[in-house]
Amino acid sequence: MSTIAINPIHRVVRFYEAPIGKKAIMAVTGVILFGYVLAHLLGNLQIYAGPDQINKYAAFLHNPANTGILWGARSFLLIAVGMHIVASVQLWKLKNDARPVSYVKKDDAAASYASRTMEWSGPIVLAFIVFHILHLTVGSVVPLQELGPNEPNVRANVINGFSNPLLSGFYIIAILMLCTHLYHGLWSMFQSLGISHPKYTPKLKAFAAIFAFLIAVGNCSIPIAVLTGCLK
């Protein structure tokens, strides 16, 4: 009985210990995080839908009736982020342990800029996410306004937050870094899931590039619209 109960867990552990297992975890958590990035952008773009739309959206999210769902989603995302980071660090360590001494000559001609910066763009993106939360959620960078109890004035907070050119410039640069990370991570995810073929890989790379580009344009448009006076 104990052998039957332990074997499935043992198989899962053995699978994760192998590089393919860690890549699979990164791929699955990557899908979750890509979905969140897209949903977050669609929510933010509601700032263009009228003076009150994004505040109504925020009020819906912060409604006491939705508190459990909101914190459940946040916890789920936090776990996904943690698993993604842990698997990434472990893969990086396995790679270094397998080749402790770098080759004298490195041929990066076939490697994209995104793939060559993947290892350090991840921590930078993580630092940006923390800053973004402190900036527009916690209010540690710029004081936040509220329409009422548990009802943030998101529109005013976004405009006030991006009225500072330095903050907007930092945000835009960080978003471009995020989307560079997204581009490489997205098409690498397909390879980790076994979806790799000379016929389909170029199309997957093109899809990843378009997705990352649209995410960059959507997110960067908001601070640019504030700085240019299109959002007041």
Burial (CB < 10 A; 0-12, 13-18, 19+), residue 223, is buried
Q: What is the pTM of this model?
A: 0.80
List 146's β-bridge partners, or say none.
152
pLDDT tens-place string over residues 133-162: 888 888 888 888 887 766 788 999 999 999
Domain with 119 in it: what CATH number? 1.20.1300
Residue 200 lies in a domain: yes
pLDDT tens-place string over residues 84-133: 888 888 887 887 777 655 544 444 433 444 455 556 666 777 777 888 88
Residue 232 lies in a domain: no
Length of the chain: 232
For the chain, what is the largest distance between any 2 Cα atoms, rounded to a whole number of angstroms?
69
Residue 105 lies in a domain: no
**pLDDT for res 210:** 94
Residue 212 lies in a domain: yes
Residue 175 lies in a domain: yes
Residue 103 lies in a domain: no
Burial (CB < 10 A; 0-12, 13-18, 19+), residue 93, is exposed
User: How many domains are contained in the chain?
Assistant: 1
Residue 220 lies in a domain: yes
Domain limits for position 40:
9-98+111-227
pLDDT tens-place string over residues 178-218: 888 888 888 777 776 677 777 778 888 888 899 999 999 99
Residue 1 lies in a domain: no
CB of 176 closer than 8 Å to CB of 220 = yes
